[in-house]
Amino acid sequence: EMVMTQSPATLSVSPGERATLSCRASQSVGYSLAWYQQKPGQAPRLLIHSASTRATGIPARFSGSGSETEFTLTISSLQSEDFAVYYCQQYNNWWTFGQGTKVEIK
């Protein structure tokens, strides 16, 4: 069964700083990788699909990279509304989610 591992579990960042989140797949998923943002009481919000394509309406400060088993989500300059939990999801074979990275205010 596919396993997605995100690191770190928690990332403490000051507003305006860059945040880099990692996601590793236990086997290759090609480019079938999405990133979501989730805030308390809300459904996940799609940020990135196909490893690096921003979803409609997503600000340019969010970028994704990687392929096969190693992926990265970068938030170039954190805004107050970006503090949330982020999940990666593979959709190459069924769906599998990482355990999440919480981005908190430093």
Partner 1 sequence: QVQLQESGPGLVKPSGTLSLTCAVSGASISSGNWWSWVRQPPGKGLEWVGEISHSESTNYKPSLESRITISVDKSKNQFSLKLSSVTAADTAMYYCATRHGTSFYWGRGTLVTVSS
Which residues form the interface with partner 1 (CB under 8 A)? Answer: 1, 34, 36, 43-44, 46, 49-50, 53, 55-56, 87, 89, 91, 94-100
Spell out the SS3 assignment of the chain: CCCEEEECCEEEECCCCCEEEEEEECCCCCCCEEEEEECCCCCCEEEEECCCEECCCCCCCEEEEEECCEEEEEECCCCHHHCCEEEEEECCCCCEECCCEEEEEC
Question: Minimum Å distance from CB 10 to partner 1?
Answer: 13
Q: Which is nearer to partner 1, 7 or 77 (CB)?
A: 7
Q: Which is nearer to partner 1, 10 or 77 (CB)?
A: 10
Q: Which is nearer to partner 1, 18 or 95 (CB)?
A: 95
